[in-house]
Amino acid sequence: METHTYFMNNMNKKKKVLVAMSGGIDSSVSAALLKQKGFEVVGIYMKMLPDSSQKNHDQSEQMSAQTADSLGIEHFSIDLSQKFKSQIIDYFVKEYSQGRTPNPCVKCNPYLKFNVLLEESKKIGADYIATGHYVRIEKKSNSPEFYIKKGRDKKKDQSYFLYLLNQRHIQKALMPLGSKKKEQVVKKAQELNLPKAQGRESQEICFIPENDYVSFLRKRSSNGFKPGPILDSQGNILGEHQGYVRFTIGQRRGLGLAAAHPLYVLDINPNTNEIIVGPEKSLYKKTLTADEINWVSGKLLKSPLTVKAQIRYNHTPQKALVRPKGSDLIQVEFEEPQRAVTPGQSVVFYDGDILLGGGTIMESQA
């Protein structure tokens, strides 16, 4: 397996690359590294958040422009806030109203960021696109197929969030930080005296102020805020909740129940407005069904495949068997039961460090 073209030393002509620049350390250093490699670098700032977050936008956009100026590269901005609202925020609210726990970052990367990067790169005649993700793009020798691999910094690896990308995205994508450790990136930013070299890490979900999901959802929808019963697995009423959108599978705190043993959310039923709770052992499930499947290679799964499967960002991938169930459904059977398999979250598949693909969890079984 060989690394992407931009690591090759013998380039016939100077290549142009469009770099997504958020104003943060990672994207800034990515732009700097590409310029040092000899690329003609152009930075793009993508405004995602609605006008209610205009102050944060202005600061990030200004930082992005200052970084581009310090590097001596071209820079422009594009407003995607309406698309972001319709494709990401509305999806987020709808999923919670259906009793699911969504993963907006997974959707944002292919449907907005990478699609826009490809579109804008064509307009300016760029050969490549680039981001500050901690992943590697590689391809097999004598093969047109490209791969996404985990970043070498395992603590910062972001491949889980990129499983919806396809060959069209990654054959043009450069990921300068894939082989770097975070501390190396921070040091590089300081060496170059880049703006925000001491900046904070980005929030996991950028559009939720102070991570207050409940207030955010309440302003946009009344669905899921009606009081309802909290039941045990036998149907006995143990208490009352103040809206099922306040809960997710595996949650223990905030139930307001007095019990001899700790109780956890086992299921959320929006149709009956019920929360089902039980002991922690009942959270473990061995099988799940997923839809909205994507394979990075573009090739459909036709027979069972043994993989390492990851059911949330901070979950360690576990050995599992994936079986196709029609054109857009799969069944995943783990070797060992997994805790808190959550509808709406992503199940992502690996072969070693290679990202194979993934899907959205629909339901799970013991």
Separation between Cα atoms, residue 144 and residue 331, nearest integer Å: 29
Q: What would you report as the CA-atom Rg of the chain, rounded to the nearest whole angstrom? A: 22
Number of neighbouring beta carbons within 10 Å of residue 176: 27
Specify the DSSP class assigned to residue 35: H
DSSP 144-208: --EEEEE-SSTTT--GGGGTT--HHHHTTEE-TTTT--HHHHHHHHHHTT-TTTTPPPPPSSTTS
Rounded CA separation 310/274 (Å): 28
Q: How far apart are CA 121 and CA 119, in angstroms?
A: 6
Catalytic residue among 20, 34, 108, 173: 108
Q: Please count the other Cβ atoms lying within 10 Å of the Cβ belonging to residue 192.
A: 17
Spatial contact of 348 and 309, defined as CB atoms under 8 Å apart: yes
Q: Exactly one of 162, 206, 245, 290 is catalytic; which is it? A: 206
Sign for the pseudo-dihedral over CA of 351, 357, 361, 365: negative
Q: Report the phi/psi class of residue 256: left, alpha or beta, with left for phi > 0 and alpha for psi in -120 to 50.
A: left
Q: What SS3 state is found at 325? A: coil
Number of Cβ atoms within 10 Å of the Cβ of 335: 12
Copy the structure tokens of residue 286: 């061995």
Q: Is 105 a catalytic residue?
A: no
Taking each helix axis as running N to C, give the angle between helix 182-191 and helix 25-36, from 0 to 180 degrees, rounded to the nearest 10.
Answer: 70
DSSP assigned state of 74: E
How far is it, in rounded angstroms, from Cα 298 to Cα 271? 36
Residue with tokens 């490549």: 128
By annotation, the residues acting in catalysis are 108, 206
